[in-house]
A and B are shown apart, each in its own frame.
Chain A
Amino acid sequence: MAEKMELNEVEVWDGNYAAAQALRQAQVDVVAAYPITPSTPIVENYGAFVANGYIDGEFVMVESEHAAMSGCVGAAAAGGRVATATSSQGFMLMIEVLYQASGMRLPIILNVVNRAIASPLNVRGDHGDMYAGRDSGWIQLDAFNAQEAYDLNLCAFKIGEDINVRLPVMVHQDGFLTSHTAQNVYPLSDDEAYAFIGDYKPVDEMLDFTRAVTYGAQTEEDWHYEHKAKQHRALMDSYTVIDRVFAEFKEKTGREYKRLESYLMEDAEVAIVALGSTVETALLAAKQLRESEGLKAGVVAPRVFRPFPFNEIRDALANVKAVAVLDRSCPMGAMGALFNEVSAAMYASPHRPLITNFIYGLGGRDFSLEDAKAIFREQKGHADVGYITTPLQQFSGLRGPKLGFYEMKRSK
């Protein structure tokens, strides 16, 4: 039996340690990992918890992230509760196997501590890796601070392992800004946390020798399409379980999560849509602008990036006049991915606000309160004249001549 850990009502944890504590409380059977900055402490601490008797589990050292996720797939197919962590280049090397994990419906939990992708090499936070995973068939939860990194890890096991979901789940947090910032975190006790998640219930486990199964079958044009469609359906439908788990979590802790978070949106005229730690910056900017300038600003933030909260976006932005969608990943030859998805949702709505796109914060470039305020003010300008006066895609916090792409088409 694993030793219990006595936790204080309030702990001072950074995002990484908060995630590691959640993995310990979930009593993860296997972590196969190839540590990478800035996610290293998550798997390092799991290893320490195993070594010190706090987890009955196995830390598997492997030779790459491709092998790490492969080890996770094997352990999950064998019938264990499995998790790991990675960032950036490690995430990129995992990608092939991410699709294998989701296609085999293995509820692995992957902590992705978001970091920019080379070249140029960079260890700081942006959302390039998170975006690279968006078609991989995983549920993607986004934590904006250390408390949420802890909470969402507990929820991730319960969501992914639900018999009606059986999909792997990523828990994202921003590299350094969240992963290395120590904050007050209110944990559950070990018993409460484990009771919330529950025992792992294996499905089609390979260690059941009475029922031999094949994992990773090859299917060509006669079967592949149906299997992919079934998987997509499972991911699309997973929102019902996500909502239920968030409701149960609120009942237990008082902390409420929604697939789409909305802040100050009741009477908002302009809004920022963003992901990650930027949400808190934008929220503070909105509060201050409301006080100092009477600007009715609000913030909308996908807590769940996949399955994408399409309907919730339409409801949240149903009454705003101008929206700035922020993408912390360079789209390289297109509009930002979040912009495209928000725009697509609003296009199929009776109310179509003016929507612009900002690229920002690449490679950990600071996104300040003033940057957020400037974006809100610009949206107010659009709202007042009734059209978009700036390029549709702009770059916040970029040195050099002003960079922008596309104009609004106002007549034929």
Chain B
Amino acid sequence: MKGVLATDRRGIRELGAEELVGWDEVTQGVILESFEVPMEENVAHIRPEERPYSDFSSYTATVASWRVIKPVYNRDICIDCQNCWVWCPDTSIISRDKQMLGIDYDHCKGCGVCVEVCPTNPKSLLMFSEAEEPEAALAKWPEKKKKEKK
């Protein structure tokens, strides 16, 4: 994620910005290679930002424009339970060594599942308008709800 992992090529290009070639140059069977070089090592052991993703992998494409609302993450409340990381359908929660780092806004579609599964009080992830600045969103974060006494 830009700003979080400096070397990352995640979302560096707009989807569809690749060079258009003629019918004689497209790949046979619409086969798209994920990496630019052969991967002798098990890819699962290499961190995503260190993998040589090709320009035809969606990893390097940004689809941020598809989103109208976005989750904002509040580090001060998060307990690093990894629920959001497990449930995110677009692998857009970035976590390292079981510590939540942030959200991949290049691939997040704004579905809100991460907010739904967040167990903290108040929630550590909340949905805001796409135009909302993160600082402004954090400034209006709700207070902890008190348990009602029976």
A: which residues have CB within 8 A of B?
Answer: 103-106, 166, 203-204, 209-217, 219-220, 222-223, 225-227, 229-230, 233-234
Contacts and interface: CB of A to CB of B under 8 A. Distances in A.
A230 B24 contact: yes
Contacts of B38: 210-211
Contacts of B139: none
A234 B23 CA distance: 11
A212 B43 contact: yes
A220 B18 CA distance: 13
B40 A204 contact: no
Nearest to B40: A210
Contacts of A214: 31-34, 56-57
A217 B32 contact: yes
A213 B20 contact: no
Q: 10 closest A-B pairs (Cβ-Cβ)?
A: A105-B29, A212-B34, A229-B23, A226-B23, A214-B32, A204-B31, A104-B29, A210-B38, A230-B23, A226-B26
B55 to A, nearest CB: 13
Contacts of B42: 209
Task: Please report whether the interface of chain A is mostly helix, strand, loop or mixed according to DSSP.
Answer: loop
Task: Please report whether the interface of chain B is mostly helix, strand, loop or mixed according to DSSP.
Answer: loop
13 contacts: A105-B28, A166-B28, A166-B29, A209-B43, A210-B39, A212-B34, A212-B43, A214-B33, A217-B30, A217-B32, A222-B20, A226-B23, A230-B28
Which of A166, A210, A212, A225 neighbours the largest number of chain B CB atoms within 10 Å of its CB?
A212
Contacts of B34: 212-214
A223 B57 CA distance: 15
Interface in B37-53: 38-40, 42-43
Interface string B10-28: 0000001000111110101
Contact of B26 (A166, A211, A216, A230): A230
A212 B20 contact: no
B33 A219 contact: no
Interface of B: 16, 20-24, 26, 28-35, 38-40, 42-43, 56-57
Given A203-B28, A211-B35, A227-B26, 11 more contacts: A105-B28, A106-B29, A209-B42, A212-B43, A214-B34, A214-B56, A216-B30, A217-B30, A226-B21, A226-B22, A226-B23
A274 to B, nearest CB: 34
Contacts of A203: 28
Which of B26, B35, B43 neighbours the largest number of chain A CB atoms within 10 Å of its CB?
B26
Given A211-B38, A217-B32, A222 B26 contact: no
Given A217-B30, A217-B32, A230-B28, A212 B23 contact: no
A7 B28 CA distance: 39
Contacts of A227: 23, 26, 30
B30 A104 contact: yes
Nearest to B51: A212
A205 to B, nearest CB: 10
A354 to B, nearest CB: 39
Contact of B32 (A166, A213, A234): A213
A215 B56 CA distance: 12
Nearest to B21: A226
